[in-house]
């Protein structure tokens, strides 16, 4: 990953407007399901739509689930310093947070929700400290994670093996997050996550 950097004026806007809630997890852990459910819970949350150079999966829509860019478009935005954070997770497969997304949410006065890669989550937390709550959504086991990825039906077995290898590396970062939510039962995971957010926003 390129050295992490941010735009100072963006940082000032974010800290004046509201708090940050960071979600990270290995692919297939249920993070997106949890985030989407919590956005409806009335926590005054604005969702930061990440950018990626991968192809859409299933019913994913550009500008709703992700900002889908080609690898060349993503690289061009890196050169333009358009990202708060970014990472190349596989060759030519990038994920990142556009500064324009952060500014969009800041203008509404909402708290900001990030659904980002594990390294991105760690870096955003390091930048904002107590202003941010970082949550790591963890599968009950690697075997269960493999079953979930296979059940998706969106990736080849080779791709699933790549995701599992990456997940095993990402699990080592869990201790760098404020809380680890084990998603063995989705309802319980949602309850635990909502409690953590409620306590954080009431501080």
Residues 7-63 pLDDT 10s: 323 343 443 347 999 999 998 899 989 999 999 887 889 999 999 999 998 899 999
Under 8 Å between Cβ of 19 and 131: yes
Task: Examine residue 118 and state whether it is found in any structural domain, yes or no.
Answer: yes
pLDDT at 104 over 80: yes
The residue with tokens 């800041």 is: 106
For 164, the domain range is 14-201
Q: Average pLDDT, stretch 105-119?
A: 90
Question: Are the beta carbons of 98 and 85 closer than 8 angstroms?
Answer: no
CB atoms within 10 A of CB 29: 27
Q: Residue 50 belongs to what H/E stretch?
A: none
Q: What is the pTM of this model?
A: 0.82
Secondary structure class of 47 (helix, strand, coil): strand
Would residue 166 count as lying in a domain? yes
Residue 9 resides in a domain = no
What phi-psi label fits residue 183: left (phi over 0), alpha (psi between -120 and 50 degrees) or beta? Answer: beta
Burial class, 103, CB count within 10 angstroms (exposed 0-12 / middle 13-18 / buried 19+): middle
87 inside domain? yes
Q: What is the pLDDT of residues 176-199, one digit of tens each?
A: 999 999 999 999 999 999 999 999
Answer yes or no: is 102 within a domain. yes
Q: Is 35 domain-assigned?
A: yes
Q: What is the pLDDT of residues 149-171, one digit of tens each?
A: 998 888 889 989 998 999 999 99
Q: Mean pLDDT over residues 74-94, rounded?
A: 94
In a domain, 134, yes or no: yes
pLDDT at site 89: 86
Q: Is 171 inside a domain boundary?
A: yes
Give the pLDDT band of residue 4 (cuts 50, 70, 90). Answer: very low
Q: What is the CATH number of the domain that holds 155?
A: 3.40.50.300
Domain count, the chain: 1
Residue 63: its pLDDT value, please? 95
CB 119 within 8 A of CB 173: yes
């Amino acid at each position: 990953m390129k050295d992490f950097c941010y735009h100072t004026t963006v940082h000032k806007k974010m800290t004046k407007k509201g708090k940050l809630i960071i979600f990270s997890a290995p692919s297939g852990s249920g993070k997106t399901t949890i985030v989407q459910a919590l956005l409806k819970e009335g926590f005054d949350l604005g969702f930061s739509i990440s950018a990626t150079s991968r192809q859409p999966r299933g019913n994913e829509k550009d500008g709703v689930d992700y900002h889908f860019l080609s690898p060349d478009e993503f690289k061009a935005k890196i050169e333009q310093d358009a990202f708060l954070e970014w990472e190349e997770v596989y060759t030519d497969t990038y994920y990142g947070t556009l500064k324009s997304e952060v500014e969009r949410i800041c203008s509404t006065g909402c708290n900001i929700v990030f659904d980002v890669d594990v390294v991105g989550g760690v870096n955003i937390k390091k930048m904002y400290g107590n202003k941010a709550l970082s949550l790591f959504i963890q599968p009950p086991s690697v075997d269960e994670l493999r079953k979930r990825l296979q059940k998706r039906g969106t990736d080849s077995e080779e791709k699933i093996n790549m995701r599992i290898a990456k997940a095993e590396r990402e699990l080592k970062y869990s201790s760098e997050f404020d809380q680890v939510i084990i998603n063995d039962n989705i309802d319980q995971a949602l309850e635990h996550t909502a409690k953590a957010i409620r306590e954080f926003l009431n501080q």
